[in-house]
Structure 1
Amino acid sequence: MTQGEIETRTGWRGSAEAWLNAAYRILVERGVAYIKIGTLADDLGLSRTSFYWHFADRKALLAALIRQWEDKNTGNLVRQSGLYAETIAEAVLNVFDCWIDEELFDSRLDFAIRNWAQADPDLKSELLRTDETRIAALQAMFGRFGFDTDTADIRARTLYLTQVGYISMTTVEPRKTRLSRMPGYVEAFTGLAPTRGEFERFLSRHR
């Protein structure tokens, strides 16, 4: 029985989420150029025509991938930067949750989007706007703790661009090593070391 016959009998044409997840896997593993409707259909065991029940065309699928990146990575980073904290050190540890928890921030997706943007001027412009949105959120975080505008901007950029460097260089550290360096990073970015209690609360979220 062909894929088309199976789909006709069962009514199963996949779901938008399934097609999007398949595209995500190809994006992070191979790059956007390899996202093709036929390849996705083969991966899912569905026919090419099933794709069009969920997306108008390949461009619409790629737009959905970009929205997923914005909603997850930028949305969570902005939210984490605005969480309640007693000190700037604790506030930065809230942001560091993004660097440790892939449910909050998907570094592989960020890396793939940055690579994709090098050959796509429209996405490149969107990426630059997104970076400024993230930096602005971090700057506002520093501002809430009394840093003047210029200092808050420099510290926000230092914090953020350090992480972009981790992503762009595909730096891999053992989780234990990364966590052990966090207090030093907090002090470098803020001028204030986290208290034992602040760091213990941070660690408890990632054990």
Structure 2
Amino acid sequence: MGMEKTERGWRGTPDLWLDAGYGLLVEGGVEAVKIMPLAERLGLSRTSFYWHFADREALLAGLVARWQAKNTGNLVARCEAPAATITEALLNLFDCWYDDALFDSRLEFAMRTWALTDTTVAAAMSAADAERVAAITALFHRFGYSETEADTRARTLYLTQVGYIALRSEESLEIRMGRNPAYVLTFSGVAPTEAEIAAFQARHRVR
């Protein structure tokens, strides 16, 4: 099972400590991510933390890397997923907004808040925004949109979603789903087919 057992007992694993760090980050911001509260949350000793991480900064760097791999990595992957039409391609991307396993909005909010007071995280956030917009722009390029139009539509889509996250907008699944056809039309200039919407709803277990 790969568990870190020693004569002194269970010290946890790096992922376990990162999971706890994630919990504190999304609940209370980066200031809440401290070694003693982490140890208390896990029921482990403070010295166990140092078995896996040199210091708090190393854990924070691990949280940044986890965020980059998850939110940016999955968004880019959904942009590159096979699609027959621009509308199907946009719905592939919309999967991110409905599946926390693909794109974690709580983590994104926490990272954006953290970036306000940490220049290193701000630089990582700026790079992530640029990479995401480039991926969405490439998606539009794939379906024949001009360079300027692809860029503008990509920014309209992305900044709308960032706005939802920044405002911590809470809407019912029914309301959000009901807006999807109009959003796809707004972002692409093309209306999705009923079959495309039905397929999207089915994979998000909406009947």
Paired with 1:98 and 1:89, the residues of 2 have a C-alpha distance of 15
Equivalence for 2:33: 35
* C-alpha displacement of 1:107: 0.3
User: SS where residue 193 of structure 1 aligns?
Assistant: coil
How do residues 28-177 of structure 1 correspond to structure 2 at under 5 angstroms? 28-177=26-175
Paired with 1:149 and 1:194, the residues of 2 have a C-alpha distance of 22
String of CA shifts for 1:79-115, please: whole Å, max 9, x gaps.
Answer: 0001111111110000000000111000000000000
Paired with 1:86 and 1:60, the residues of 2 have a C-alpha distance of 43
Equivalence for 1:3: none
Q: 1:195 aligns with which of 188, 193, 200?
A: 193
String of CA shifts for 1:136-175, please: whole Å, max 9, x gaps.
Answer: 0000000000000000000000000000000000000001
Paired with 1:135 and 1:12, the residues of 2 have a C-alpha distance of 43
* C-alpha displacement of 1:176: 1.2
* C-alpha displacement of 1:15: 1.1
Paired with 1:100 and 1:200, the residues of 2 have a C-alpha distance of 15
Paired with 2:120 and 2:12, the residues of 1 have a C-alpha distance of 30
Relative to the length of structure 2, the TM-score reads 0.95
Amino acid corresponding to residue 26 of structure 1 in structure 2: L
Amino acid corresponding to residue 66 of structure 1 in structure 2: V
Q: 1:205 aligns with which of 179, 203, 206?
A: 203
The runs of 4+ residues in structure 1 deviating greater than 6 Å are none
Equivalence for 1:4: none
Paired with 1:125 and 1:70, the residues of 2 have a C-alpha distance of 12
C-alpha RMSD of the superposition? 1.1
Paired with 2:75 and 2:138, the residues of 1 have a C-alpha distance of 13
* C-alpha displacement of 1:18: 1.1
